[in-house]
Amino acid sequence: MPSQTKTRILDAAEDLFADRGIDGVSIRSIISLAGVNLGAIHYHFGSKESLIKEVFHRRIGEVNNERLRLLNDCLINSRGNVPELRMVLRAFIAPPLCLLLQPERGHVFIKVCGRAYGEASEHLRGMFISLFREVFEKFSLAIFRALPNIPEEEIIWRFHFVVGAMIHTMLHGQALKQFRPDIKNVLNVEENIERLVQFSVSGLCGELKDNQKGNGLGTGLEEEFI
């Protein structure tokens, strides 16, 4: 269990990152909001870079652990046969969207993610790749097994688009209400999970064109998976 001081620092950093962006927040402002001294930052984190990483790892680590747990259950239930694509995608999509069900800190962290995507520094990109690499590899393999007749390179592209749809839904889903005020339940998380899973199944299983029937990987898209 993290100490109360460490938790206060992480919460303060999260709040400030959500409001001002990652680069726009100083250590001084974090310790002021957290009500701690500079020594507490050095003791618990060592540097601002380590603090930033811990802010993301605290939430993303839980999300990814739940993703992998659900994926493992899905593979066990398949009894060595082809896993059900819908359940694989639900295991991937549901845990991060469920952050929206957390009344305060979940929404704050999603704002932090939006700031991070906007800034997209090399340091942040490298950190995200490190945090998501295992998830990317294991879910990719599961989808390859579920869709043996679709070339792996094409699956990687389609999975990349699934990630984009998921991120957009998390960060900007409520904007739909501005375009179509008549649409109800825009922020119904469970309904949106089901919609996104069905959308993703359809996208991944779509008919191949002749120029999509090659084999092989090497797209480098794993570097875009953040």
Q: Summarize pLDDT for 106-146 with one digit per residue, the tens.
A: 888 888 888 887 776 777 888 888 999 999 999 999 999 99
CB-CB contact of 89 with 201 (8 Å)? yes
- Please name the residue that has the structure tokens 């303060």: 12
Which residues, including other chains, have CB under 8 Å from residue 96's CB and lie 6 or more apart?
63, 166, 170
Among 33, 167, 27, smallest CA distance to 100 is for 167
Instruction: Pick the range with the lowest mean pLDDT from 16-25, 32-41, 157-166, 177-186.
Output: 177-186
- Residue 80's pLDDT band, with cuts at 50, 70 and 90, is confident
CATH fold match for the domains 1-46 and 55-224: no
Condensed to tens digits (0 to 9), the pLDDT of residues 160-217 reads 999 999 998 888 877 777 788 887 777 788 999 999 999 999 999 998 876 666 655 4
Residue type (1 letter), 185: N
CATH number at 1-46: 1.10.10.60
Rounded-to-10 torsion of CA 53, 58, 60, 64: 120
Angle at 89 between CA 87 and CA 94, to 5 degrees: 95
CB 34 within 8 A of CB 41: no
CA distance 88 to 93: 9
User: Residue 43 is encoded by which pair of tokens?
Assistant: 């003791």
Taking domain 55-224, whether its CATH number is 1.10.150.240 is answered by no
Contact 197, 92 (CB under 8 A): no
Length of the chain: 226
Structure letter (DSSP) for residue 182? T
Report which of 166, 170, 158, 149 is spatially closest to residue 92, judged by C-alpha positions: 166
Which are the contacts of 221, defined by CB distance < 8 A and separation ≥ 6? 156, 157, 160
Closest by CA position to 31, among listed 51, 60, 50, 57: 51
CB 189 within 8 A of CB 97: yes
Map out the domains of the chain as residue ranges: 1-46, 55-224
Q: Which residue has the tokens 């179509």?
A: 180
- Lowest-pLDDT range of 19-28, 52-61, 65-74, 113-122: 113-122
